[in-house]
Amino acid sequence: MNDVENKLKEAFELSDLLYSKRKNEIMSGLEEKLSETIGRFVGNRDFFDSEHAEFLLTERIKRVKELVPNRLNFDLQNIEKVINPIRENIYNKIYKRVSGSIEEEMKNVKVQIKKLFIGKNPFFLSDSLKPMNKNIDEEEYRLLENVKRDIKIHQLASGLKSNEKIPSKVQEKDYEKHEYKCTDEIHILGTSSISRSNEIIVNKTKIKIGDSLFLLLLRLAVELKKGEGGWVNIHSLYDEHIITDPDKYQIYSRLRTNLQGSLIDKDGEKFIENDGSKNYRISTHPDFITYNKAKLLNHKDSQIRKLSEELPDNDK
């Protein structure tokens, strides 16, 4: 059984559990209600006529009609969680294939143009090619943007609400260099409540996480924003009082669990990545992590305020 089949199996198992729970809720008290109603119908009579049977049938059918849409909805909702990441990945691969063809053809154009000037004075060559290459680069950019637009149109036409961010050319180079695994976006609002929970937006979905998890997320975000890959060793996290014990790993699991429902691939381990050498990072492009620094600097937690000072100033 391949990975997709396993995910489908898990999705249906979850759907079955939800359906079973809903069925118990809908059917709860039915037998008691029917017994009570039959008692009122029959009274002191010793017979049970078609009127009573009709009532029993109506009541049961009513419950089944209420139950059936749940069967469908639970299946559709849970299967969508499996299918959407696959569809998103396909669109991303299509973009990479098409953009690769565009870049290859534009390189060929530059080569062919340069051949026209072979044997010319080097200064003349430089002055002539510079504006031509600039025009080629601009056309390449426009073509790539058009491809993104057309993919978005196809996604919307197929009913797929995409959360996936398509990296720019510059960002793609960072993906190749640092091997980021995700394209998820997080916006840190900087707001917190008395109950020590912090609001963040993960791929347009607002969620809340506690201060200890938020502190770890913020520390990883600070490192990622340095543009050097984002890796932080657990002993550094301990020395900085971000975590309380370098030998316990539950905090990373808890952070992943809090985030993964809103992630594109629903994969917390992919997003909060561990390299196997006690280093962790947020595995998305630094540009996809944004925040309101002004609010973070006024956070009720002094440790979070201090850490926020390390964030670049160009985010809102």
- The CATH number of the domain holding residue 259 is 1.10.10
Which domain-ending residue is among 175, 192, 219? 175
Which domain-ending residue is among 57, 86, 115? 86
Torsion-angle region of residue 69: left (phi > 0), alpha (psi -120 to 50) or beta?
Answer: alpha
Residues 108 and 197 occupy one common structural domain: no
Q: Which residues contact 174 (CB under 8 A, 6 or more apart)?
A: 167, 180, 227, 285, 286
Residues 191 and 299 occupy one common structural domain: yes
How many domains does one find in the chain?
A: 3
Top pLDDT among 13 and 224 is at: 224
| Residue 250 covered by a domain | yes
| Residue 117 covered by a domain | yes
Residues 183 and 295 occupy one common structural domain: yes
| Residue 315 covered by a domain | no
Residues 279 and 170 occupy one common structural domain: no
Residues 32 and 126 occupy one common structural domain: no
Range of the domain at 203: 178-308
Residues 49 and 167 occupy one common structural domain: no
Residues 119 and 24 occupy one common structural domain: no
Residues 71 and 44 occupy one common structural domain: yes
Q: Would you give the distance in Å from CA 107 to the centre of its chain?
A: 34
Helix residue ranges, H only, the chain: 3-27, 30-42, 50-115, 122-157, 169-178, 211-224, 234-239, 250-260, 268-271, 293-296, 302-308
* Portion of the chain with pLDDT greater than 90, in percent: 31
pLDDT of amino acid 158: 67
| Residue 314 covered by a domain | no
Tell me the pLDDT tens digit for each residue of 71-112. Answer: 787 887 777 777 777 777 788 788 888 888 988 999 998 888
pLDDT of amino acid 66: 79
Residues 191 and 287 occupy one common structural domain: yes
Which domain-ending residue is among 175, 196, 211? 175
**Residue 162: pLDDT band by 50, 70, 90 thresholds?**
low
pTM: 0.53
Question: Which of 86-95, 258-267, 306-315 is the least confident region?
Answer: 86-95
| Residue 313 covered by a domain | no
Encoded tokens for 96: 């990479």
| Residue 292 covered by a domain | yes
| Residue 15 covered by a domain | yes
Output phi, psi for 248, to 5 deg. -115, 135
